[in-house]
Structure 1
């Protein structure tokens, strides 16, 4: 799984475009970038702990029984 250390230099640019989904400062959140691999990591942890591979979310106890 790639990590931040595996990615080269990244430059953020602002593109002038009308967008109704931005906040009062005119920007959107970038939190998605940091959590891309979380679902896969949790699913792999569940597999390592239980031996059951779950391929759909949300992971529920009923899927592991």
Structure 2
């Protein structure tokens, strides 16, 4: 997944989420794929070409949690 995120493949990233998903990015909570699309576009504009290095990944049922270090 990190490779896909780093390639800015928003449509593939979105395909991994339900329409009514709930997401937290940098302490900001929001719901839905449309909001996730807008957030990813904004995030890509802000961080440019950087690398996400996972430090923790937890999956439990339909819950996915990832802690990462952003390097660039």
**TM-score, normalised to structure 2's length?**
0.27
Q: Which has the larger radius of gyration?
A: 1
Going by fraction, where is strand more abundant, 1 or 2?
Answer: 2
Higher relative contact order (CA 8 A, sep 6+): 2
**TM-score normalised per structure 1:** 0.29
